[in-house]
């Protein structure tokens, strides 16, 4: 059981029906993320990275292939059991918190859905875990900065103690110092809780800092998988991956 | 002659809990060049950009000793005059494309609306221009994107649609607020290339707001570094990576590097003198 | 007092109630800055007070006839707004009529928006055929002019205040459904809805707890703006003899009975007309002000 990959995606196809035309957003992508591993997805804008994360969550129309968690195929309706195993942090911290709910409400909602008691203590602890003062508990999102909002989003994702976190460009809307805070937070939480990450980012430096392996995507297809050591050394097979690397020259450790 | 001159710009929000000063005395001038604005979140970058278009909603108000665009006093022009400037001569790419696009209107309609109403183009001509604009920003399947609603686009596609929309009327000044934060590096390079061409060949002025210090250092001519509504440092973009100011240095230090150590990243240290007002 | 406002404006509220009251307080402060909205609020509150204490404000019995004092002009001692053709004091009738107006307004405001909100959010969130069916029904109701539809309904149900209210409510909900659906469509694909779905929330919970709060402001604004129309339609039904029945002091009915003397005794019809005008204006001004207060985009960051 333990050596089964936490996430296994096998020749996944996702097809959107848009105005009678089929949009094949993901075509035959396979990947496997081991337990406690941090896996990165990079690639062209519109190449289906977010769609893969959404497909895992049952938020995108899968038209072929299989997704398995810990070896078990996923039911078509994800259900409550799924939400205790996998959670997602969305790209835009300004759009992912309900503007009319206090932080308290946002964080206690998953507990209410799953009928978990002890709400007060859990919410306070969750805030503590992501390094927010307990005084923020009854604030509204518009009273928080981008980085603080992203922390709340991370805290919300952790409320149900999932083992897998899907991170869709978790820091692209944040400034350099807040990005560092959020990345440090994610790394710490991963160590403490043994989490598995599947993470999308455009910034190869962020990916390099966070991920053990990366998959490069283009036009809805997987182009190449690269190990962490090879990324820094610039050892790539395909032209597209090399062009990404070359365009990130300013992010290299000089 | 400079295209835009801003002297001692202040933006104040009279909130219920007292006034909040978002921009506190910003001065700069812009020629037909690429001016970068960087700084941490909440430092007033967006508000500075929006002030130029006088797009600050109440309870916010704008004050400036001088704000001139191409010889016109932006503080005095009546609202109708401003409306004629906005979009046509001064365009702004908003920070949050998903928020700025109309969620229940197809992308194509939004792109062609201005062309048809303002430039009185026929339907076919407007569609042709819109398609060309989408292609220019590297959208793969422009016909489909024209028919799509904003929520059917990826994050980066929304951003590019927004850029295309702003570039269609060929403005003289473009204010781009985080225009490429959701783009991968190669598409980003293409989009920057378009902006660059416009600045070089057509003499457009560009204000480029971004979190990405390395991108700004590479792409812009000059950089303003903002902190809590003030400009703390102004320097040539080439020298940004070697900036001296402790705040700028602090921001630079936070950045991860390919091949860097895996340990915790340094975060901004706010204990220096520069942090007190 | 300062302790209370400090408590309300505390950036770090200690409890849910404090946070909610704090938000309400900020909304109130925003409303207070808008003089027109405050005028509207004063008018609406005045209507409430007038209706609540009608017997105190009324100088006469609104129904008792006194044929010796027919059609006295305004300014007559004891009848400072004049009397009508049965010698009833117009001021007292208007004051008591405020209760009827308020009754109609309250009933319509409680039923139509709720119905519209439920239909609109469900249609918008469910999409597909549910949406198509619900919105076609809405369109059908929208296609008829409201007064005509209300007339037809009252003709079927029989005249009377309650039936008039029912008719108005049944004709008033479609615009709310439209507004709520439009708002739902913009909210539906947002990340925060995806996030609760991911936490395992069911459709009912999402619509009730997450979508409706986003639609509520625009519906509330619409309701206050529409109240003027509701009062006018109720008056119109009364005027046509299909709403409140004589001798009830309903404002529309009063205008209707006054029109016979419009040229010689203008005040009989004009006074209730003024009352309708002022109250309608009050609701409209308040609605406009609420737009600024409740619109999430104008809410300070
Ligand atoms: N709801 C939808 N309906 C139709 N097409 C969609 C929908 N959602 C996504 N798509 C399409 O799927 C493709 C992949 O989108 P996705 O969001 O996965 O890209 P991405 O790799 O995350 O890109 P980015 O880096 O720009 O965010 C795009 O072409 C997009 O237009
Ligand atoms: N409506 C408002 N009421 C009060 N303060 C506001 C309002 N809108 C903005 N502000 C304040 O103005 C300041 C500047 O905001 P601005 O959006 O310009 O920041 P920014 O530099 O663009 O940040 P980011 O990088 O996060 O986009 C912030 O501190 C913010 O709190
Ligand atoms: Mg994406
Ligand atoms: Mg900004």
Per-residue three-class SS string for C91-109: HHHHHHHHHHHHHHHHHHH
Q: What is the mean pLDDT of residues B76-100?
A: 84
Strands A164-168, A196-200: pairing kind: parallel
Q: According to the model, what pLDDT value does residue C1 have?
A: 62
Do B260 and A181 make contact, defined as CB atoms within 8 angstroms? Answer: no
Q: What is the mean pLDDT of residues B33-42?
A: 89
Which fold, B1-89+173-255?
A: Rossmann fold (3.40.50)
Strand order in the sheet with A21-33: A21-33, A7-18, A62-69, A72-73
Q: Residue C35: CB partners within 8 Å, gap ≥ 6?
A: none
Per DSSP, the three-state class of B91 is strand
Q: Residue A7: CB partners within 8 Å, gap ≥ 6?
A: A31, A32, A33, A39, A56, A67, A68, A69, A164, A196, A198
Residues in B closer than 8 angstroms to A18, CB to CB, are 144, 147-148, 152
Beta bridge partners of A23: A16
What dotted CATH number matches A7-253?
3.40.50.300
User: Is there a domain that residue C263 lies in?
Assistant: yes
Q: What is the mean pLDDT of residues B66-73?
A: 88
Q: What region does A32 belong to: left with phi over 0, alpha with psi -120 to 50, or beta? A: beta
Q: How far is B160 from chain A (nearest CA, A)?
A: 10
Structural domain for C89, as ranges: 36-62+74-298
pLDDT above 90 as % of chain B: 22
Tell me the ligand closest to A94's alpha carbon. 2
Ligand 1: centre distance to CA B185 (Å): 17
pLDDT above 70 as % of chain C: 97
Residue with CA at minimum distance from ligand 2 atom 16: B44
Q: How far is A154 from chain B (nearest CA, A)?
A: 18
Evaluate whether C258 touches C272 at the Cβ level (below 8 Å): yes
Do A100 and C213 make contact, defined as CB atoms within 8 angstroms? Answer: yes
Query: CA end-to-end span of chain A, whole Å?
Result: 43
User: Is there a domain that residue C198 lies in?
Assistant: yes
The ipTM value here is 0.87
Q: What is the mean pLDDT of residues B251-271?
A: 85
Tell me the ligand closest to B45's alpha carbon. 2
Residue with CA at minimum distance from ligand 2 atom 22: B46
Q: C295 pLDDT exceeds 70?
A: no
Please tell me what DSSP assigns to residue B263. Answer: S
Do C194 and A153 make contact, defined as CB atoms within 8 angstroms? Answer: no
Ligand 4: centre distance to CA C140 (Å): 45
Residues with CB under 6 A from ligand 1: A 16, 18, 23, 25, 45-51; B 152-157, 182
Tally the domains of chain C.
1
Give the residue on C whose Cα is nearest the Cα of A89.
Answer: C195
CA A63 to CA A16: how far, in whole Å? Answer: 9
User: Is there a domain that residue C42 lies in?
Assistant: yes
Evaluate whether B22 touches B47 at the Cβ level (below 8 Å): yes
Mean pLDDT of chain B: 87
What CATH code is carried by the domain that includes residue C79?
A: 1.10.3720.10
Contact of B270 with chain C, judged by CB distance below 8 Å, is answered with: no
Q: Which of B250, B253, B277, B274 is nearest to B265 (CA)?
A: B253
Evaluate whether A110 touches C199 at the Cβ level (below 8 Å): yes
Beta bridge partners of B29: B5
What are the b/e assignments for B110-133, b being 16+ CB within 10 Å? bbbebbbeeeebeeeebbebbbeb
Mutate to test the pocket of ligand 2, among B10, B13, B177 (most ligand atoms within 8 A of CB): B13
From chain B residues 38-67, the ones with a CB under 8 A of any chain C CB are 57-59
The per-residue DSSP string of C8-58 comes to HT-SS-SSHHHHHHHHHHHHHHHHHT-HHHHHHHHHHHHHHHHHHTHHHH-
Q: C81 pLDDT exceeds 50?
A: yes
Contact of B17 with chain C, judged by CB distance below 8 Å, is answered with: yes
pLDDT band at B14 (very low <50, low <70, confident <90, very high): confident
Return the minimum-mean-pLDDT range out of A174-188, B171-185, C171-185, C224-238.
C224-238
Do A176 and B211 make contact, defined as CB atoms within 8 angstroms? Answer: yes
Give phi and psi for C65, each to the nearest 5.
Answer: -90, 150
pLDDT above 70 as % of chain B: 99
Tell me the ligand closest to B229's alpha carbon. 2
Instruction: Please name the member of A46, A173, A205 whose beta carbon is closest to the beta carbon of B140.
Output: A46
Ligand 1: centre distance to CA A23 (Å): 9
pLDDT band at B123 (very low <50, low <70, confident <90, very high): confident
| pLDDT tens digits, C89-107 | 888 888 888 888 888 888 8
Determine whether the shortest distance from the Cβ of B45 to ligand 2 is under 6 A.
yes
Which of C11, C21, C189, C191 best probes binding to A when mutated, by most A CB atoms within 10 angstroms?
A: C191
CA B228 to CA B21: how far, in whole Å? Answer: 9
| pLDDT tens digits, C27-63 | 888 888 888 889 999 999 999 998 888 888 878 888 7
Please tell me what DSSP assigns to residue B266. Answer: P
Per DSSP, the three-state class of B17 is coil
Q: According to the model, what pLDDT value does residue C122 have?
A: 94
Do C186 and B17 make contact, defined as CB atoms within 8 angstroms? Answer: no
CA C188 to CA B150: how far, in whole Å? Answer: 13
Q: What is the pLDDT along chain A (254 residues), one digit of tens a residue?
A: 457 888 999 999 999 987 778 889 999 999 999 999 999 999 998 899 999 999 999 888 999 889 999 888 888 788 888 889 999 998 888 888 998 888 999 999 999 999 988 888 999 989 988 888 888 888 888 878 777 888 899 999 989 989 999 999 888 878 888 889 889 989 998 999 999 999 999 999 999 999 999 999 999 999 999 999 998 888 889 999 999 898 888 887 76
Instruction: Please name the member of B157, B160, B262 whose beta carbon is closest to the beta carbon of A209.
Output: B262
Q: According to the model, what pLDDT value does residue C300 have?
A: 40
pLDDT band at B48 (very low <50, low <70, confident <90, very high): very high
CA distances from C94 to A239, C87, C101, C272 (A): 84, 14, 10, 6
Instruction: Please name the member of C189, C297, C298 whose beta carbon is closest to the beta carbon of B151.
Output: C189
CA dihedral C33, C35, C40, C42 (to 10 degrees): 80
Ligand 1: centre distance to CA B157 (Å): 8
Give the residue on A whose Cα is nearest the Cα of B268.
Answer: A177
Contact of B104 with chain C, judged by CB distance below 8 Å, is answered with: yes
Evaluate whether C190 touches C279 at the Cβ level (below 8 Å): no
Number of residues written out for chain A: 254
Q: B97 pLDDT exceeds 60?
A: yes
Do C12 and A135 make contact, defined as CB atoms within 8 angstroms? Answer: yes
Do B254 and A176 make contact, defined as CB atoms within 8 angstroms? Answer: yes
pLDDT band at C242 (very low <50, low <70, confident <90, very high): confident
Tell me the ligand closest to A176's alpha carbon. 2
Tell me the ligand closest to B138's alpha carbon. 1
User: Is there a domain that residue C11 lies in?
Assistant: no
Evaluate whether A158 touches A167 at the Cβ level (below 8 Å): no
Do B260 and A179 make contact, defined as CB atoms within 8 angstroms? Answer: no
Residues in B closer than 8 angstroms to A169, CB to CB, are 155, 182
Using alpha carbons only, what angle is made at residue C133 by residues C132 and C136, rounded to the nearest 5 degrees?
Answer: 80
Q: Which residues of C touch A (CB under 8 A)?
A: 11-16, 18-19, 23, 190-192, 194-201, 205, 209-210, 213-214, 296, 299-301
CA distances from B78 to B61, B73, B89, C59 (A): 15, 10, 16, 54
CB neighbourhood size of A143 (10 A): 17
Report, in angstroms and rounded to the nearest whole number, the Rg of chain B calculated over CA atoms. 19
User: Is there a domain that residue C91 lies in?
Assistant: yes
Mutate to test the pocket of ligand 1, among B107, B152, B159, B161 (most ligand atoms within 8 A of CB): B152
Evaluate whether A150 touches A93 at the Cβ level (below 8 Å): yes
CA C38 to CA C42: how far, in whole Å? Answer: 6
Residue with CA at minimum distance from ligand 1 atom 3: B152
Ligand 1: centre distance to CA A55 (Å): 12
Q: According to the model, what pLDDT value does residue B155 have?
A: 85
Mutate to test the pocket of ligand 1, among A16, A17, A57 (most ligand atoms within 8 A of CB): A16
Domain ranges of chain B: 1-89+173-255, 96-170
Instruction: Please name the member of A87, A100, A133 whose beta carbon is closest to the beta carbon of C198.
Output: A87
Ligand 2 atom showing the smallest separation from residue B211 Cα: 25
Residues in A closer than 8 angstroms to C301, CB to CB, are 142-143
Do C198 and A114 make contact, defined as CB atoms within 8 angstroms? Answer: no
Ligand 3: centre distance to CA C241 (Å): 62
CA distances from C154 to B35, B214, C102, C164, C215 (A): 68, 72, 20, 6, 31
The subunits that touch chain C, with at least 3 C-beta pairs less than 8 Å apart, are: A, B
Beta bridge partners of C29: none
Which of B184, B209, B215 best probes binding to A when mutated, by most A CB atoms within 10 angstroms?
A: B184
Q: Which of C221, C224, C227 is nearest to C293 (CA)?
A: C221
Q: C301 pLDDT exceeds 50?
A: no
Ligand 3: centre distance to CA A42 (Å): 10
């Amino acid at each position: 059981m333990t050596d089964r990959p936490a996430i296994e995606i096998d020749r996944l196809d996702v097809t959107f029906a848009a105005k009678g035309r089929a949009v094949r957003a993901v075509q035959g992508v396979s990947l496997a993320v081991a337990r406690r591993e941090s896996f990165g997805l990079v690639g062209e804008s519109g190449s289906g990275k977010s769609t893969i994360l959404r497909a895992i969550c049952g938020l995108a129309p899968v038209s072929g292939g299989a997704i398995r968690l810990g070896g078990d195929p996923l039911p078509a309706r994800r259900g409550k059991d799924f939400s205790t195993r996998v959670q997602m942090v969305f790209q835009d911290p300004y759009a992912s918190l309900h503007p009319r709910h206090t932080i308290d409400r946002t964080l206690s909602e998953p507990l209410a859905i799953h009928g978990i008691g002890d709400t007060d203590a859990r919410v306070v602890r969750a805030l503590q875990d992501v390094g927010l003062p307990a005084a923020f508990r009854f604030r509204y999102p518009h009273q928080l900065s981008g980085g603080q909002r992203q922390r709340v989003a991370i805290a919300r994702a952790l409320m149900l103690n999932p083992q897998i976190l899907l991170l869709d460009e978790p820091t692209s809307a944040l400034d350099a110092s807040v990005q560092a805070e959020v990345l440090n937070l994610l790394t710490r939480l991963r160590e403490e809780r043994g989490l598995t990450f599947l993470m999308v980012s455009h910034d190869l430096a962020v990916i390099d800092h966070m991920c053990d392996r990366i998959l490069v995507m283009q036009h809805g297809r997987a182009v190449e998988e690269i190990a962490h050591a090879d990324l820094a050394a610039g050892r790539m097979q395909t032209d597209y991956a090399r062009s990404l690397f070359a365009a990130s020259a300013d992010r290299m450790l000089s | 002659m400079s295209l835009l001159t801003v002297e001692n710009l202040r933006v104040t929000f009279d909130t219920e809990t007292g006034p909040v000063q978002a921009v506190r005395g910003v001065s700069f001038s812009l020629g037909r060049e690429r001016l970068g604005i960087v700084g941490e979140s909440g430092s007033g970058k967006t508000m500075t950009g929006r002030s130029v278009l006088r797009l600050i909603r109440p309870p916010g108000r704008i004050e400036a000793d001088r704000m001139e665009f191409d010889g016109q006093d932006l503080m005095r022009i009546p609202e109708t005059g401003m409306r004629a400037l906005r979009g046509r001569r001064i365009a702004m790419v908003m920070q949050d494309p998903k928020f700025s696009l109309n969620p229940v209107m197809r992308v194509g309609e939004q792109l062609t609306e201005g062309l048809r109403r303002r430039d009185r183009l026929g339907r076919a001509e407007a569609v042709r221009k819109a398609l060309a604009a989408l292609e220019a920003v590297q959208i793969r399947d422009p016909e489909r994107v024209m028919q799509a609603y904003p929520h059917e686009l990826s994050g980066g596609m929304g951003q590019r649609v927004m850029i295309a929309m702003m570039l269609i009327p060929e403005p003289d000044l473009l204010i781009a607020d985080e225009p490429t934060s959701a783009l991968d590096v190669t598409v980003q390079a293409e989009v920057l290339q378009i902006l660059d061409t416009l600045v070089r060949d057509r003499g457009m002025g560009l204000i480029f707001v971004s979190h990405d210090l390395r991108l700004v250092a590479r792409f812009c001519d000059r950089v303003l570094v903002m902190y809590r509504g003030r400009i703390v440092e102004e320097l040539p973009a080439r020298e940004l990576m070697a900036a001296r100011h402790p705040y700028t240095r602090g921001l630079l230090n936070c950045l991860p590097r390919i091949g860097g150590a895996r340990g915790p990243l340094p975060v901004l240290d706010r204990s220096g003198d520069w942090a007190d007002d | 007092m300062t302790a209370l406002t400090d408590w309300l404006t505390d950036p770090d509220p200690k409890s849910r109630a404090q946070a909610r009251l704090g938000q309400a307080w900020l909304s109130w402060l925003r409303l207070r800055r808008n003089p027109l909205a405050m005028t509207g609020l004063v008018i609406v509150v005045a209507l409430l007070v007038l209706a609540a204490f009608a017997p105190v404000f009324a100088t006469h019995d609104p129904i008792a006839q006194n044929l010796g004092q027919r059609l006295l002009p305004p300014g007559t001692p004891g009848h400072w707004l004049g009397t009508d053709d049965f010698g009833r004091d117009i001021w007292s009738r208007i004051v008591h009529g405020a209760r009827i107006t308020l009754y109609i307004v309250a009933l319509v405001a409680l039923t139509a928006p709720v119905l519209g909100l439920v239909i609109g959010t469900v249609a918008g969130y469910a999409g597909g055929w549910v949406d198509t069916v619900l919105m076609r029904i809405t369109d059908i109701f929208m296609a008829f002019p409201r007064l005509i539809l209300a007339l037809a309904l009252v003709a079927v149900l029989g005249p009377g205040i309650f039936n008039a209210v029912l008719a108005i409510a049944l004709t008033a909900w479609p615009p709310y459904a439209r507004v709520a659906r439009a708002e739902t469509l913009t909210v539906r694909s947002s990340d925060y809805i995806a996030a609760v779905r991911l936490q395992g929330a069911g459709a009912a919970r999402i619509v009730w707890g997450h979508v409706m709060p986003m639609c509520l402001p625009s519906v509330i604004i619409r309701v206050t703006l529409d109240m003027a129309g509701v009062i006018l339609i109720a008056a119109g039904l009364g005027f046509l003899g299909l709403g409140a029945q004589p001798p009830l002091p309903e404002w529309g009915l009063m205008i209707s009975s006054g029109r016979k003397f419009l040229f010689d005794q203008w005040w009989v019809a004009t006074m209730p007309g003024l009352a309708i005008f002022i109250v309608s204006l009050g609701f409209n001004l308040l609605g406009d002000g609420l737009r600024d207060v409740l619109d999430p985009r104008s809410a300070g960051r």
